[in-house]
Chain A
Amino acid sequence: GAGVSQSPRYKVAKRGQDVALRCDPISGHVSLFWYQQALGQGPEFLTYFQNEAQLDKSGLPSDRFFAERPEGSVSTLKIQRTQQEDSAVYLCASSFLSGGFSNEQFFGPGTRLTVL
């Protein structure tokens, strides 16, 4: 596809349910990022992959959050035992380069998660 795609676009979960959010990056992009964006705030970094390697997961808020990118393309962000404070938009971004200061990111449309 031409851009980053994410699915589902909207997800409503009951507190305690597990959810899985999918990201399809731009073909050939090495780097993949997950962000959490609360209403009225900027995106907050969650985790970063370079190909299939998860190089940084320092932004994951708790051990209920888990991300993977097993074949270096599609990535899944999983949230176990969801809590109301997990309600946010989850954004995925990809970039062509693996590092370096000219690392421009392109964002997907996001998944809006609402935990009841």
Chain B
Amino acid sequence: QKEVEQNSGPLSVPEGAIASLNCTYSDRGSQSFFWYRQYSGKSPELIMSIYSYGDKEDGRFTAQLNKASQYVSLLIRDSQPSDSATYLCAAYRDGQNFVFGPGTRLSVLP
């Protein structure tokens, strides 16, 4: 069983809409969570990290963490075609490895 689960998609949203990406994790001891964006053929690029329960906002991106439900999400407001990529969720626990999910492919339609 994968420790970090994501819907593989593709998730298609129209330009200007809100894209909602979800991630669940199985290790209750996970302390920090990361969202990476990966364009096809490129390496992962860090978008946001979140450690505390609640929301964290950075520009058009909002990360949400619910430790009780073991759930992390990423909202992208005013989605642009350039946001089309695979979004990887990763969980980290001190003393353990980073564990990545399989990624969700997002397609923003002009």
CB pair A101 B31 closer than 8 Å: yes
- Interface set of B (CB-CB < 8 Å, partner A): 4, 6, 8, 31-32, 34, 36, 42-46, 49, 51, 88, 90, 92, 94-95, 97-103
Task: From the candidates A42, A48, A59, A101, name the one contacting B88 in the complex (CB within 8 A).
Answer: A42
- In chain A, positions 80-116 with a C-beta closer than 8 Å to chain B are 91, 99-110
Task: From the candidates B6, B46, B49, B102, name the one contacting A102 in the complex (CB within 8 A).
Answer: B49
Q: Tell me whether A41 is interfacial, beta carbon within 8 Å.
A: yes
Return 22 A-B CB contacts under 8 Å, by A number: A33-B98, A35-B100, A40-B102, A42-B4, A42-B6, A42-B101, A42-B102, A43-B100, A45-B97, A56-B97, A58-B97, A100-B94, A101-B32, A101-B92, A102-B32, A102-B51, A103-B32, A103-B92, A104-B34, A104-B49, A105-B98, A107-B45
Answer whether A110 and B43 are a contact pair too, CB < 8 Å, given A42-B103, A102-B32, A102-B51: yes
CB pair A108 B43 closer than 8 Å: yes
> Contacts A44-B100, A91-B43 given; 14 further ones with Cβ under 8 A?
A33-B98, A40-B8, A41-B102, A43-B88, A45-B100, A56-B97, A58-B97, A99-B95, A102-B49, A103-B32, A103-B92, A105-B34, A105-B46, A110-B43
A56: B residues at CB distance < 8 A: 97
Interchain CA distance A40-B92 in the complex, whole Å? 22
Interchain CA distance A100-B36 in the complex, whole Å? 19
A104: B residues at CB distance < 8 A: 34, 46, 49
Interchain CA distance A59-B103 in the complex, whole Å? 19
A interface, how many residues as a size bin? 20 to 34
Closest residue to A92 on the B side, CB-wise?
B43
B88: A residues at CB distance < 8 A: 42-43
Interchain CA distance A42-B99 in the complex, whole Å? 9
Interchain CA distance A40-B102 in the complex, whole Å? 7
CB pair B44 A43 closer than 8 Å: yes
Interchain CA distance A108-B44 in the complex, whole Å? 8
